[in-house]
């Protein structure tokens, strides 16, 4: 779109393993030339697809009415027919951070869970979590982190989220509060909605950032990127007790090359780090024994 920072979210599906794709279409019904971006896609085991994104339609409406509005909003749309179409979008939350990416995961019962950086009172940009349940009840927004980071702007640093195999969720994120900003990892109880004391990880002197987290049974993996003397490096930590205790950080990749943000994926009950490099191309690094 011609308007700065404006865009639409498009979707295309393949039913033959990526050999060809159907004609792409716009996911949302709203066609205003505003921000619809920083989209995240979740595919549940039952085939349900959920797309969530940062949306500024409510900010535009508030400005037109002369009313205050902090940040942007989170909207989402659901497909129950393998991506042939999406239902009309719904608003998940007002006052999200404008440019931090959304993390999505799902539970075995079909619940989709979103985590995003939220603009709380006093411009505290901590994280929030909400569950999108199969019965379409109005999601309850829960505060997930308590760094009380006050900043009048977007850090461009989204978090990571994983289902905790029964107790709740694992989350990893960047917190810029205080004298020592850091990456953090914590557990969130999915019933009492209580967050464990967060643990710092990563070397911020090496620009540690953009973590990914994945849970399989009692095992949990964390990976992130750092830059050391011109080398791009990927580090990992592992928990064997559901995120209560963590191993020391281990370097699993070091290349004299640009490296994208690492992702954790599961293939046939084994966990891998998937990462793209500029020269050496795509790498799939096994994490399970």
pLDDT digits (tens, 9 = 90+) for 112-149: 999 999 999 999 999 999 999 988 788 999 999 999 99
What is the percent of the chain where pLDDT is above 70? 100
- What is the structure's pLDDT at 46? 86
pLDDT of residue 165: 82
Residue 222 pLDDT class (50, 70, 90 cuts)? very high
The helix/strand count (H/E) of the chain reads as: 1, 21
Using a 10 angstrom Cβ sphere, with 0-12 exposed, 13-18 middle and 19 or more buried, the burial of residue 175 is buried
Closest by Cα among 140, 39, 129, 46 to 89:
39
What's the whole-number mean pLDDT along residues 153-178? 92
Using DSSP, state whether 258 is helix, strand or coil. coil
pLDDT at 35: 96
Task: Indicate the pLDDT class of residue 268, thresholds 50, 70 and 90.
Answer: very high
77 versus 46: which is more confidently predicted?
77
Mean pLDDT of 210-226: 97
Give the containing element (helix H, strand E) for 61: helix 57-64
User: pLDDT at position 89, please?
Assistant: 98
- Rounded Cα distance between 109 and 92, Å, is 19
For the segment 214-243, the average pLDDT, to the nearest whole number, is 96
Distance CA 133, CA 58 (A): 24
Check whether domain 10-201 has CATH 3.10.129.10, yes or no: no
Q: Is the pLDDT of residue 289 over 80?
A: no
Please give the average per-residue pLDDT across 176-193, as a whole number. Answer: 93
Whole-number pLDDT of residue 45: 86
User: Residue 121 phi/psi, 5° resolution?
Assistant: -55, 140
Segment 191-195 shows an average pLDDT of: 88
User: How much is the pLDDT for 255?
Assistant: 94
Q: Give yes or no for residue 37 having a pLDDT over 90.
A: yes
Residue 166 has pLDDT above 80, yes or no: no
Strands 168-175 and 160-163: antiparallel
- Let me know: does 271 contact 250? Beta carbons within 8 Å: no
For the segment 91-108, what is each residue's pLDDT rounded down to a tens digit? 999 999 998 999 999 999
- For 17, what's the count of Cα atoms within 13 Å in the CB-facing half-sphere? 0
CA distance 217 to 202: 24
């Amino acid at each position: 779109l011609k308007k700065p920072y404006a865009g639409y979210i498009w979707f295309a599906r393949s039913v033959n393993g990526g050999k060809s794709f159907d004609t792409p279409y716009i996911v949302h019904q709203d066609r205003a030339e505003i921000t619809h971006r920083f989209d995240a896609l979740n595919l549940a085991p039952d085939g349900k697809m959920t797309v969530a994104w940062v949306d500024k339609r409510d900010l535009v409406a508030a400005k037109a009415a002369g009313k205050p509005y902090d940040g942007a909003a989170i909207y989402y749309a659901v497909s129950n027919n393998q991506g042939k179409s999406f239902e009309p979008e719904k608003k998940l939350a007002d006052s999200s951070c404008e440019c931090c990416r959304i993390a999505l995961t799902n539970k075995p019962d079909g619940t989709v869970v979103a985590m995003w950086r939220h603009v709380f009172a006093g411009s505290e940009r901590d994280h929030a979590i909400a569950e999108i349940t199969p019965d379409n009840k109005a999601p309850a927004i829960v505060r997930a982190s308590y760094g009380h980071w006050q900043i009048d702007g977007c850090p461009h640093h989204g978090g990571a989220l994983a289902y905790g195999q029964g107790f709740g969720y694992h989350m990893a994120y960047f917190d810029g509060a205080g004298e020592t900003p850091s990456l953090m990892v914590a557990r969130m109880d999915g019933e009492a909605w209580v967050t464990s004391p967060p643990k710092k990880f990563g070397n911020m002197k090496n620009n540690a950032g953009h973590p990914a987290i994945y849970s399989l049974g009692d095992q949990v993996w964390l990976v992130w990127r750092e830059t050391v003397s011109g080398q791009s490096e990927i580090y990992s930590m592992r928990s064997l007790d559901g995120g209560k205790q963590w191993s020391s950080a281990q370097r699993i990749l070091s290349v004299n090359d640009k490296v994208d943000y690492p992702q954790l994926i599961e293939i046939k009950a084994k966990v891998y780090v998937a990462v793209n490099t500029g020269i050496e191309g795509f790498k799939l690094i096994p994490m399970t024994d």
